[in-house]
Amino acid sequence: MSDEELDELVRLCSALRGHRWPWAPLGRLLGGSLRTQAAVLGVHERQVSRWRSYGLTDEQADRCAILAGSHPAAVWEGWDSVAAA
């Protein structure tokens, strides 16, 4: 499967899952380059690129915020109201 096909599959799956958390607040918290962000989160740079494009699921956002040394409610406004639903 090509990168373009995988990106399209991720986009379609994202649409089916519903709510996604934007990358920008986490990216600001992490700072640094894409490579540095990927290293802190323990993922491949390509995964960070996908999150930048498509956002993060609840589970991904929770895990990434914790790995960044924070709590998702401190990273994303509205976390408590969406997570409680």
Average pLDDT of span 50-71: 95
Domains and CATH numbers, the chain: 3-84 (1.10.260)
- What confidence score (pLDDT) does residue 16 get? 60
> Rounded to two decimals, what is the model's pTM?
0.75
Tell me if 37 sits within 8 A of 44, measured CB to CB.
Answer: no
pLDDT at 85 over 70: no
pLDDT at 57 over 70: yes
Higher pLDDT: 66 or 1? It is: 66
On the CB side of 54, how many CA atoms lie within 13 Å of its CA?
A: 23
Read off the pLDDT of residues 62-74 as tens digits, 9 standing for 90 and up: 999 999 999 999 9
